[in-house]
């Protein structure tokens, strides 16, 4: 078996017949609405094979051509978790069907996002050999298990800008993830320029952990990144973390601090010490302004309000401040996401609660779900890709133990907390906090090979997942990573092939 698609598709039939050869001048045909997917596929195939494809708006079939078709009648292969994630693509929209033989390739989907998912499968199928590039004869029918399949990146502890993040977005596309969550603010830095509060970036974006250089998104670099992700079927979910993790705001705005004195810059990695103060007159306007501005900058349906690790505040004040942030998000017509602790605030129905710490009492989460909250699963012991692989790993943290590839692979989001009904779980998100990560290579080395494991947890139905088979497929993926210049960790759990 040579085919090694990750995440595993719902149905894969490998035909023993001749492959499709990609030659100079091979044509890529599509309809007007399929053009964005065709253009992306042409670009990645050209990069992979060194051969340009000609994209044309035309009907086929044409012998030897690739065709991308939108087909409103295409029914998704049966299966899937209960319910879609509100605001994200539905299972039917991400479904696709692919048929390849020596006469041509036909990729069909109901929606552009299905074509984008199928295009990632095509990229993984390309084989380079003596006689040039070819795609094996296969039939694939595929659709996701979970609707929300994300990666969260902390760009506050260390800043990662478009040049570092675009290759990460490419990886999300390659593994059929659909959400990029950016943790944009924390004690060490404020990383997004907001029109109503220019002092935040002006005063609090130049530093980072250990005194490393900082940075921030301005309106243009932010819009470009959001568009780059959208072109790949990926929604950006921005996070402003309140009411804790706010030293960067307190350093920029003295009126948020009792006494009025801005706090010093912070370059360490402690958590839990900074906080907003409900009784200060400036606090409510700050919350309203930052989430209103953030909504303006965000075409996607969700804003993340943070809410984690507020260790020096009475519960009543925490409920008040999280409530104000959530109200500002809803007033701007966006859906609210918050870390696990927001479950204790009686969140409004539809709030997405992101579980990260399985040591916390599940009772408030169960109650929040009874009140209509939804759950996104990011348990640190499985999905925190800033944790070390094992004791010999130089980068990363170990506060929740080590996360080897098998740990990242062998779990099911809907079953991780037995108290939480599976129907409330919208999906899975990997997270990478960057206290110890400085460069694109550091980031990639932590993501690869664990991100593909989380991607399969999100996309492939639990009964079709198998560790032995995943190991076999993943072993062939370093060629894909190296072709894009990405660093990766050769975990001893996989028998890597060239």
Q: Which residues bind ligand TNX (CB under 6 A)?
A: 271, 308-309, 339, 356, 384, 386, 397, 433, 435
Q: Interior CA angle at 251 toward 330 and 162, to 5°? A: 65
CA distance 164 to 171: 12
**Residue (84 or 164) nearer to ligand TNX, CB:** 164
Tokens for 407? Answer: 């740990």
For residue 476, the minimal CB distance to ligand TNX (Å) is 30
**Residue (21 or 311) nearer to ligand TNX, CB:** 311
- Tell which phi-psi region holds residue 149, choosing left (phi > 0), alpha (psi between -120 and 50) or beta: beta
For residue 426, the minimal CB distance to ligand TNX (Å) is 18
**Residue (55 or 368) nearer to ligand TNX, CB:** 368
Q: What is the CA radius of gyration of the chain?
A: 23
**Residue (164 or 435) nearer to ligand TNX, CB:** 435
For residue 153, the minimal CB distance to ligand TNX (Å) is 11
For residue 270, the minimal CB distance to ligand TNX (Å) is 10
How buried is residue 286: exposed, middle or buried, by Cβ count under 10 Å (0-12/13-18/19+)? buried
Collapsing DSSP states into helix, strand and coil, what is residue 201?
A: helix
Hey, CA dihedral for 96, 152, 183, 82, is it positive or negative? positive
**Residue (156 or 297) nearer to ligand TNX, CB:** 156
Nearest to 459 by CA among 127, 94, 135: 94
Instruction: Answer whether 442's CB lies under 8 Å from 397's CB.
Output: no
For residue 247, the minimal CB distance to ligand TNX (Å) is 12
CA distance 242 to 322: 7
**Which residue matches tokens 């492939």?**
460
Instruction: Answer whether 126's CB lies under 8 Å from 45's CB.
Output: yes
Instruction: Answer whether 170's CB lies under 8 Å from 163's CB.
Output: no
- Would residue 239 show up in a list of annotated catalytic residues for this protein? no
Provide the 10 A C-beta neighbour count for residue 73. 6
**Which residue matches tokens 């109650």?**
367
For residue 271, the minimal CB distance to ligand TNX (Å) is 5
Nearest to 445 by CA among 434, 459, 455, 456: 434
**Residue (33 or 397) nearer to ligand TNX, CB:** 397
Which residue in 199, 265, 309, 317 is the catalytic one? Answer: 309
By annotation, the residues acting in catalysis are 309
């Amino acid at each position: 078996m040579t085919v090694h698609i990750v995440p595993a598709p719902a149905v894969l039939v490998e035909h023993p017949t001749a492959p499709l050869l990609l030659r100079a001048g091979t044509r890529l045909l599509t309809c007007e609405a399929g053009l964005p997917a065709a253009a992306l596929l042409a670009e990645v195939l050209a990069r992979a094979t060194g051969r340009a494809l000609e994209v044309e708006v035309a009907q086929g079939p044409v012998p030897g051509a690739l065709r991308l078709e939108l087909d409103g009648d295409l029914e998704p292969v049966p299966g899937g978790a209960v319910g879609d994630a509100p605001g994200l693509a539905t299972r039917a929209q991400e479904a696709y069907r692919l048929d390849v033989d020596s006469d041509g390739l036909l990729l069909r989907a109901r929606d552009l996002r299905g074509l984008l998912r199928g295009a990632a499968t095509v990229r993984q199928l390309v084989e380079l050999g003596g006689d040039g590039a070819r795609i094996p004869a296969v039939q694939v029918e595929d659709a996701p298990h979970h609707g929300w399949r994300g990666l969260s990146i902390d760009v506050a502890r260390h800043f990662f800008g478009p040049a570092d993040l675009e290759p990460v977005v490419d990886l999300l596309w390659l593994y059929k993830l659909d959400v990029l969550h950016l943790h944009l603010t924390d004690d060490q830095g404020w990383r997004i320029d907001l029109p109503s509060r220019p002092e935040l970036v002006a005063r609090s974006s130049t530093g980072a952990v250990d005194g490393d250089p900082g940075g921030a998104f301005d309106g243009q670099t932010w819009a470009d990144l959001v568009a780059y992700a959208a072109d790949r079927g990926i929604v950006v979910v921005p996070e402003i973390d309140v009411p804790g993790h706010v030293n960067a705001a307190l350093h920029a705005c003295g009126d948020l601090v009792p006494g009025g004195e801005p706090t010093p810059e912070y370059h360490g990695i402690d958590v839990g010490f900074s906080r907003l103060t409900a009784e200060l007159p400036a606090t409510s306007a700050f919350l309203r302004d930052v989430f209103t501005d953030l909504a303006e900058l965000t075409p996607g349906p969700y804003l993340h309000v943070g809410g984690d690790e507020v260790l020096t505040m009475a519960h009543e004040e925490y409920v008040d401040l999280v409530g104000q942030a959530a109200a500002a998000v809803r007033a701007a017509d966006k859906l609210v996401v918050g870390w696990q602790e927001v479950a204790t605030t009686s969140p409004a129905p539809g709030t997405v609660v992101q579980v990260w710490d399985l040591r916390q009492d599940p009772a408030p989460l169960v109650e929040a779900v009874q009140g209509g909250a939804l759950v996104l699963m990011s348990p640190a012991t499985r999905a925190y890709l800033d944790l070390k692989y094992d004791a010999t790993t130089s980068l990363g943290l170990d506060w929740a133990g080590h996360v080897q590839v098998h740990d990242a692979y062998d779990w099911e989001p809907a079953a991780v907390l037995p108290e939480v009904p599976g129907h409330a779980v919208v999906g899975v998100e990997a997270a990478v906090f960057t206290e110890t990560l400085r460069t694109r290579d550091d980031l990639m080395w932590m993501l690869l090979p664990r991100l593909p494991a989380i991607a399969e947890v999100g996309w492939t139905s639990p009964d079709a997942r198998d560790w032995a088979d995943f190991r076999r497929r993943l072993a062939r993926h370093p060629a894909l990573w190296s072709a894009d210049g990405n660093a990766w960790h050769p975990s001893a759990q996989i028998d890597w092939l060239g």
